[in-house]
Amino acid sequence: SKFMTPGVNIGLFCHTPSVQVSRAVSSEKHAKQLLLTGDPIDAATAFRMGFINFVCDDTDHLLRKTQEIAFKIRSKSKPVIAFGKQSFHAHSKEKTLKD
């Protein structure tokens, strides 16, 4: 897999994805690298940057891994999971001290 924000390559800045990219990767320098170069990164690099949670060798591995996560979440209390998701989204919209 490859990940990239290519807008800068054609004279546009991908400002909508920039919000998610800046929150998803492990550091500001990694976010800027993705957003300002337009260069693609491979899955191993995306994993090291914290952009993705895991790397799968093939689609069977991906299916097994996603089912494992889904079944684990499904085994938890539905009200607690619903509250946790709501709380997470509310807090992720708050400004940080950096902002």
- Per-residue confidence (pLDDT) for residue 1, from 0 to 100: 83
Average confidence (pLDDT) per 10 residues, the chain, 99 residues: 88 80 83 90 92 92 96 96 88 59
Q: Which residues contact 62 (CB under 8 A, 6 or more apart)?
A: 56
Task: Give yes or no for a contact between 14 and 5, defined as CB atoms under 8 angstroms apart.
Answer: yes
Q: What predicted TM-score, i.e. pTM, was given to this entire model? A: 0.70
Q: What is the pLDDT of residue 76?
A: 96
